[in-house]
Amino acid sequence: MPHTNAVPPPPPWLLMFSAADRAALTDTARTASELLADGARPEAVLPARPLSAGPESERLTVAAADTAGLVEGLSFFADGLPSPRWVSGRADGAAARTAWCFGGHGSQWPGMGRALLDWAPEAAKVLRELDVLLPNGVIEPLLSAADGELGPPDTTQPLIFAVQVATARWLWSLGLRPEAVVGHSLGEVAAAHVAGALTLEDAARVVAVRSRLLAKAGGGGAMATVNLDRHTAARRCERTPGTVVVAAHSAPQQTVVTGEGEATRALVSALEAEGVRCRLIRINAASHSPFVDSVLPQLRAELADLAPATPHIPWISTVDADPDPVGLATADYWARNLRRPVRFTQAVSALARRGIRSYVEIGPHPVLIPPLRETLRAEGVDDPLVVASGQRQTPESVSLLRLLGALYCRGLEIPALDDHIRAEVTDQKPPAHRADRG
């Protein structure tokens, strides 16, 4: 359905600076902060062409929804204070090869996706397409105040998928391309579409079938993240009365367990009493466990006519031991995706060994950032870039500009965005870094 908003939110700003060294960058930020505080417009504090924008330059970006936020970000950077409003780094080329990562259940929050409808035409177009393709629609659930965080899988997971794909399409519209894609559980469906293995229509069908059957198999199941390696976690699962198993190898020292609600919560309580950090995941189902066995034949039958294409972007599997298996995205693959443990840390290790140092988690809220960092640290990756496209309670328009800023600081040039910025600054047109063009 069409979406209108009589009073659109103010567009956010992205300010980008570069300099030969950190001291010069600090001076630039302080000057810009003072000018803005004195009433200057954001475009007036930027040079027509960034200084020392080449390789190995020091870079700074500040993203905020208003001028006051820009002043805070600039002044905090100049004073050496942390703030989510600013990102800095050396343009060392790390962002030239970036993996796009798609998380699973647990990233949802009320309000996610709404800014995409108002602010990013390319993303809004995808959401309108999915509004027709997904059984419960997309736009009304995203706009509704009732889109709570504890909904059943068939309500929540299609919306997570929709935000993931819409966000990826917006990044694609700017000319960004991933070196590879990887998904965690549900996130593999978005990865399959972005890789080119599934059309948007087929990917939506996989999400709809998968989430509906998972809800059918829920039966009061529970899932939790525990800070144990997968082998120790498996032994503790075996010693817990009832059915609880390993559901995901998220990081070397982070494992997801799942099973009967009572058994899973008992395991969590026992581990917490021993000082092990645990976190229950907001889902009332037990994917990647024997509890989904009963729905797997139906899943295979309903998706039997899928005819996936050969991916044109490398898609690193988190289902099979071989990170590059044959038969990706078939009906049988999605049955294995729902039943087998997620091999996320193994997939990230494979990417790290291919020399990839930059990782973008695409979704409503980061759930993969900690396991990504832990796995990359274990692999000895030097100074990786790990950043998310979304943040709970932060409009996508702001969080996406922060993502672009982080990529720019590590050396990525963004042609579509850069062309808008330079043309408008040079011609003295309306605000140069207003991101109201999507």
Model confidence pLDDT, tens digit, residues 173-203: 999 999 999 999 999 999 999 999 999 999 9
Average pLDDT over residues 32-46: 89
Q: What is the pLDDT of residue 47?
A: 61
- 422 inside domain: yes
Quick one: tokens of 216? 């059918």
Q: Are residues 169 and 116 in the same domain?
A: yes
Q: What is the pLDDT of residue 282?
A: 78
The model's pTM: 0.90
- 112 inside domain: yes
The C-alpha atoms of residue 102 and residue 305 are separated, in whole angstroms, by 25
Q: Are residues 54 and 196 in the same domain?
A: no
User: How many domains is the chain built from?
Assistant: 2
CA distances from 217 to 77, 161, 221, 263, 302 (A): 50, 20, 9, 17, 16
The C-alpha atoms of residue 159 and residue 152 are separated, in whole angstroms, by 11
pLDDT, tens only, 91-103: 999 999 999 999 9
pLDDT, tens only, 80-129: 999 999 999 999 999 999 999 999 988 999 989 999 998 899 999 999 99
**Which CATH number covers residue 42?**
3.30.70.3290
Tell which residue, 165, 178, 157, has the closest CA to residue 123. 165
pLDDT confidence bin for 218, thresholds 50/70/90:
low
> Sheet harboring 278-280: ordered strands across?
244-251, 254-260, 221-226, 278-280
Q: Are residues 300 and 357 in the same domain?
A: yes
Q: What is the pLDDT of residue 144?
A: 85
What domain range is 344 assigned to?
Answer: 98-218+289-379
The C-alpha atoms of residue 414 and residue 123 are separated, in whole angstroms, by 18
